[in-house]
Amino acid sequence: MSDGSQAAADNSAAAAVGPILDVDGVTLQYKTKEHLITATYRVGFKVYPADRFVLLGPSGCGKSTLLKGVAGYLKPVEGNMRLKGVDIKEPGPDRVMVFQEFDQLLPWKTVKQNITFALMNGGRCKTQSEADDIAMEYIKKVKLDRFENTFPHMLSGGMKQRVAIARGMAMEPDVLLMDEPFAALDALTRLQMQEELLQLWEDTHFTVLFVTHSIEEALIVGSRILVLSPHPGQVKAELNAHHLNHANVGQPEFAALQQKIHNMLFADRILEDELVHEIVEAET
């Protein structure tokens, strides 16, 4: 496969359907108690409908910050972010976020209530019975029927994340934003969740923007991967991975791409180590 043919395919697809999310030259900064940190510097990418778009990079590359920017929690100091051509100004139910933390489920609501709560307040449903039906449909999709009246603290980590995904999908957002949703799970559960996410995607081809620091997870889950370099986050490459999933793990093609990304990320590893060293020294 040549890069030329890929680019051509990319461009023909781009001509047929416009991007759903357009991030253009975005610089994001946030404040800690002592520093003003530039998380990303002039990052740009386009997400098309049905993309499983992955933001991949080591810690400090601003991928989570970028996702928070798209969600509307953070305003860029430079550049702009448009969803369906409209500037992103504040958080809204058209971009639902699935977090890594388990406490994203409201502990005072049952599994079903967590979903209906989102549907009613997010303005997708007018009546409770309509919300109930949709909630049950998505609870079944993530295989949690029987648990709909359970409170979140009774569920395992993997089940909690499934509820969060069901809640996000039930909203049928333009883009589902996932911030390392499987990072806090054990390896076996993570594998299972990745497979289930792909199965769910097969059903409706929803658009996902997925953040991870695992190259393997990016290749399995993602259809297109944006590789970011750290301190501050800048675009290193945009790669295709739509032809890879669990079945390809360990195969030469998978391993080659994995190695390629690995080399990209760790080419400036020494530099990064020095930087971390400097920051640690500055803070102590």
Partner 1 sequence: MSNTPEIVVRSEFEADSIGNAGTADVARKLSFFERLSDMDSVRKFSILLVLMVAWEMYTRLSGVSELMLPKFSDTAVALFNSLVYDDLLVMIKNSLSILVTGYAIGLVIATLLTTAAIMTRFGSDALSTLTAMLNPLPAIALLPLALLWFGLGSASVVFTLLHSVIWPVALNAHTGFMSVSDTQRMVGRNYGLRGVSYVVKLLIPAAFPSILMGLKVGWAYAWRTLIAAELVFGGAIADTSGTQSGGLGWFVFSNQMELQIPAVFAGLFTVILVGVFVESIIFTNIESRTVRRWGMQS
Q: Which residues bind partner 1 (CB under 8 A)?
A: 71, 73, 90-93, 95-97, 99, 101, 103-104, 106-108, 117-118, 121-123, 151-154, 171
Residue with smaller CB distance to partner 1, 103 or 273: 103
Residue with smaller CB distance to partner 1, 184 or 237: 184
Mode of pairing for the β-strands spanning 175-179 and 208-212 = parallel
CA 157, CA 17: separation in Å to the nearest integer? 37
Residue with smaller CB distance to partner 1, 103 or 137: 103
Residue with smaller CB distance to partner 1, 118 or 219: 118
Identity of the residue numbered 43: V
Closest contact distance (angstroms) between CB of 48 and partner 1 is 23
Residue with smaller CB distance to partner 1, 90 or 202: 90
Residue with smaller CB distance to partner 1, 83 or 239: 83
Closest contact distance (angstroms) between CB of 99 and partner 1 is 5
Closest contact distance (angstroms) between CB of 171 and partner 1 is 8
Count the neighbouring beta carbons within 10 Å of the beta carbon of residue 126: 10
Among all chains, which residue has been given the structure tokens 């933390």?
Answer: 101
CA 190, CA 156: separation in Å to the nearest integer? 13
Paired with 72 in beta bridges are: none
Residue with smaller CB distance to partner 1, 122 or 233: 122
| 82-98 burial: b if 16+ Cβ within 10 Å, else e | ebeeeebeeeeebbbbb
Instruction: Find the largest Cα–Cα distance for the chain.
Output: 58
Closest contact distance (angstroms) between CB of 179 and partner 1 is 10
272: helix, strand or coil: helix
Tokens matching residue 193: 């969740």
Closest contact distance (angstroms) between CB of 176 and partner 1 is 11
Element (H, E) at 59: none
Chain center to CA of 83: 15
CA 264, CA 57: separation in Å to the nearest integer? 10
Closest contact distance (angstroms) between CB of 282 and partner 1 is 25
CA dihedral 65, 68, 72, 73 (to 10 degrees): -80
Closest contact distance (angstroms) between CB of 154 and partner 1 is 7
